[in-house]
Each structure stands twice: as structure tokens, then as C-alpha cells.
Amino acid sequence: MKHARILLNHAPERGPLHAIEDDGALRLDDGQRVPFEAVRWLPPLAPVPRARSIFALGLNYADHAKELEFKPPEEPLVFLKGEASLIGHREHTVRPADARYMHYECELAVVIGRTARHVKRDQAYEYVQGYTVANDYAIRDYLENWYRPNLRVKNRDTGTPLGPWLVDAADIHARPGGPMNLALQTTVNGQITQRGNTRDMVFDVPFLIEYFSAFMTLSPGDLILTGTPDGVVDCPPGAEIVTSIEAIGELHNFIRQG
Amino acid sequence: MSAAPWQPAGTVYGVLLNFRNEYERWQPRMHEAPYKAPPQAPVLYVKTANTGNPDGGTVAVPTGMTGVAGVEAGAAIGLVMGEHGPVACALLNDFSLPHASYFRPPVKFRCRDGFLGTPRQTVPLTSLADLATLQLQVHVNGALRQTVELSQLMRTPATLLAEVNAFMTLRPGDVLMLGCDVGPDGQRPLLQPGDTVTLTAPGFAPLTHHIGTEALA
């Protein structure tokens, strides 16, 4: 099943609502069907009592590491983001006025479903609630070599579109290869610019859950953005960027001049 | 029965190299690899929710992790954000495992369970200017180990807030820590299993934590 969180355009005061995908439309919990065009999409995450931990991986596809002139890391290169950077499907991401190189990163995002501590990789999938698509934009002009990638590059307001769907883990785990056999693709104004497959991750999803839970407790709603493959390009103002992952969804985003 | 202790409602951010003393010690190396240039923007990091450890709790030093010689105390003031800027302060102990390199994000050094000591209550903030003369003290097993002077900040609270808010909005409940100084020896106080660390500052309740061990699987 595919879950969304939305605001109704005609009744935003009803607040964020849960909906599921139903034959090309959205079905609300009260049974009402609404077309995709009648809603504002939010990140497909239920609220959590404490700030959710949002992990993101750098250089987690061997080809992307090569593209950036880095050796693939021997242990995960992980950085953290705040929830304020998240926006939903079909929202706008700001390109700073002085940026010369801003690129998307199409990433499989894992949503944790159960409290996880000292989880072994063989059990890791039991702790996943579901999967969604993240676009982890980077403004490369602002890269500095202090706690790199630094937050000014990676934790900007509007800088992390997420969605449109949270797909139940069971639906993905039932597929051959599970989450580690999904095609990724990004288009800029309809032109394909990035192609990859999650099977090429350096550190796969079970490894990452084991790795993080070895030194910290993961809580329901925590997110792991698993990195991006080769093929990142500059995103000019006005561009429509579509990051998509097989069986999970197509995440649309628009670049707005800051 | 006392009320439940305060916990940060939002995301907690820390900042590196925001005290003159530590900055100046690093300055000669800032142009060397891998840094290649002094930092321009504030060097920020996130303390995840699992780090929260209320007053009186125990902080576990991992045993069997190569090179770990203890846990560093990090006396810090955190600004607690409201709708329109900071509304309160918290005396926090921003624990970290020592790490000599500041090149990569410090998740496994700073985000371990229990690595942010949090007070029972925050203190209302009337004016950021009042913080300029604040002194924090670090006591280990009853002996004074470090005095931190907020007059020695590289970026004042107002400047830091402005530079951070320029690219990421601090939301109500988020916390921005002002930094952790090093002592005259260039180090933060290193704590060992069995130690008790207490932070004090005028106007704030003392904040105490015990150091224990965590056997790694």
C-alpha cells in the first residue's frame, strides 16, 4: 500500500491528512476520493514525539564516489539533517542567487518502523516501516572541508523533497532483491540525466541499520537517505526535476530562484 | 513528585570552533589538507534525539573501540527557540568522544545514546546580551576542571543566530548551542568511567552526570 500525507486545497484547515493511493487517486481515511491535483503534498511521514533523526549517506554508490574523485569509503560517510529541510512532492526548492552548481540526488529513503538497538543485518528488514523517494539537493558552491558535507550545503530550508508515497515495507520486501534491486532515475525538464540501481550501493540497507543501531537507538519515524548514483547535473531556476525509484514513486520538484 | 524533566522538542544543533581559544589553536593548520581553508560558515552538527540524557543520568564510554580514551565534557549554553527567536536557555553537557579530525561529520562521536546532558528545566531568556558575561564551570569529582567564558565566543549568539537562519530556519523547540571551549591545555575535560561531572553557571541549576561503560557487541 502507498501512503501519503496531504492538505486539501479546498479545506487546508482540516490539517495534514493521511491518504492512500487508490487507482490513480487519493482515498482519505473517511473514504472520500480526491484527485492528485486537489491536494498539497507533504512529506509522507507521521508526526513523531521527538525530533526525528534524518541520516544521509555520502559516496554510497561506487560510481558516484568516482565522479566526485573520492575512493569509496571504508565505513559509511554519514551526515545528519534537520526536519525543517523536508518538503513534499510538487513543492519548490530555492536555488540561492549566488549558486553556480546546485544538483539533485535521487535517493532511496528508509523509514524506521520500530525502536532499533543492536540489530543484526539478518533482522534489519523487520525494523523498516517503508520506503520513499528523497531528493537530497546539494549546493556545491558552499562545500567546506569542516564536517563535510557541511550543513550549509545539505541542510537548507526546502532542500530535501520527500515523497510522494511511503510504500509499505512488505510490498518492497516481497520483490526479488527487495529494496536492493530497484532502478533509480532522474530527469531534468524531461531529459534523463541520472540512471542507477540500488543494487550498486556500497553499504546496503541491512548493513546501515546494523551500523547505526550499534551505537545509537533508532526510533519509529527516523529516516535513512541511502545516497545517490552517478549522474548529477546543475539544476537551473525554473527546472522541473523528477527523481523516481521503481515501485516506490516519482517525486516532482521545481527549482525557484532565490 | 517532581515534573518530568525538560527535553528538547525539536532538533538540537551544535557549533564547532566557536571559542577564540580553540579557533586560534587550529588556525595554523586551517590551510593544510584536508581543510585547505578556514571555515567560512558556522561549522554545525546535529545532536539527535537519542542523545538526550536528563540530569543525574549515566553516560556510557564504549569499551573496546579503538582509540577511545574516555568521553569529553562539553559545557554549553543552548538557545531554545520560540516563534520569533530564542525564548529560553538550557545548560547542556554536549558529550563527545575525542576526535582529532574535523573533516567528516562526527555522528559516531557525538550522537551516541545519552551524549547530550539535559537539565530538568530551562531558564527564561530576557536578553541575549546577558549571556556575554556568563561563566560556566566544569567540576569533575568535586574539583573544578574548566571555566568557560562566553565573552570568548567567536560569533556572538546574535551573529550565530543570524548566520544560521540565513540558510536554515530554526523552528520553535529547536535548540542552538553556542559551542564548547577547550581548556588551557587545548583539550576538553576527558572523563573516565566512575567519574561524576557537574556543570554550574549562575542562574542555572547544576547539571550532573555519571560516567559508565558500554561493552560493544
How confident is the model at residue B126, as a pLDDT? Answer: 83
Mean pLDDT per block of 10 residues along chain B (217 residues) reads 85 98 96 97 97 97 79 98 96 96 95 98 89 96 98 97 95 98 94 96 97 75
How confident is the model at residue A71, as a pLDDT? Answer: 72
Give the model confidence (pLDDT) of A217-232 as tens digits: 999 999 999 999 999 9
ipTM at complex level: 0.94
Dihedral sign computed on CA atoms, order B34, B38, B40, B43: positive
How confident is the model at residue B65, as a pLDDT? Answer: 72
Is A145 an 8 Å CB contact of chain B?
A: yes
Domain boundaries, chain B: 14-215
Which structural domain, as residue segments, surrounds residue A50? 45-257
Residues A124 and A239 in one domain: yes
How confident is the model at residue B69, as a pLDDT? Answer: 83
How confident is the model at residue A246, as a pLDDT? Answer: 98
Q: Do B102 and A146 touch (CB under 8 A)?
A: yes
The C-alpha cell at A107 is: 535517493
Measured CA to CA, the distance from residue A15 to residue B144 in angstroms comes to: 52
How confident is the model at residue B2, as a pLDDT? Answer: 63
Structural contact between residues A18 and A3, judged by C-beta atoms closer than 8 angstroms: yes
Q: Is the model's pLDDT at A67 over the cut of 80?
A: no
Measured CA to CA, the distance from residue B19 to residue A61 in angstroms comes to: 37
Q: Do A219 and B111 touch (CB under 8 A)?
A: no
Is A60 an 8 Å CB contact of chain B?
A: no
Number of folded domains in chain A? 2
Residues A77 and A149 in one domain: yes
Residues A89 and A106 in one domain: yes
- B128: CB partners within 8 A, 6+ apart: B79, B86, B156, B157, B158
**Chain B partners of A80 at a C-beta cutoff of 8 Å?**
45-46, 48, 105, 107, 111
How confident is the model at residue B112, as a pLDDT? Answer: 97
Measured CA to CA, the distance from residue A68 to residue B75 in angstroms comes to: 37
Residues A62 and A134 in one domain: yes
Q: Which of B48, B98, B150, B128 is nearest to A50 (CA)?
A: B48
Residues A130 and A24 in one domain: no
**Chain B partners of A218 at a C-beta cutoff of 8 Å?**
50
**Chain B partners of A79 at a C-beta cutoff of 8 Å?**
105, 107
Q: Is the model's pLDDT at A65 over the cut of 70?
A: no
Q: Do B62 and A215 touch (CB under 8 A)?
A: yes
Residues A141 and A234 in one domain: yes
Q: Which residue has the cell 556510557?
A: B60
Where residue A170 falls among pLDDT bands split at 50, 70, 90?
very high
What CATH number corresponds to the domain at position A11?
2.30.30.370
**DSSP codes, B137-192:** EEEETTEEEEEEEGGGBSS-HHHHHHHHHTTSPPPTT-EEE------TTSSPPEE-
Tell me which amino acid residue A241 is: I
Angle B173-B179-B182 (CA atoms, 0-180°, nearest 5)? 155
Q: Is the model's pLDDT at A189 over the cut of 60?
A: yes
Least confident span in A65-79, A122-136, B124-138: A65-79
Angle A243-A247-A249 (CA atoms, 0-180°, nearest 5)? 35
Is A214 an 8 Å CB contact of chain B?
A: yes
Residues A26 and A59 in one domain: no
Residue A41 is given by DSSP the state: E
| Mean pLDDT computed over every residue of chain A | 96
Helices within chain A (DSSP H only): 62-67, 151-154, 169-173, 205-213
Measured CA to CA, the distance from residue A53 to residue B199 in angstroms comes to: 27
CATH architecture of B14-215: Alpha-Beta Complex (3.90)
Nearest-by-Cβ selection for A118 from B62, B111, B217: B217
What CATH number corresponds to the domain at position A138?
3.90.850.10
Residues A4 and A70 in one domain: no
Where residue A172 falls among pLDDT bands split at 50, 70, 90?
very high
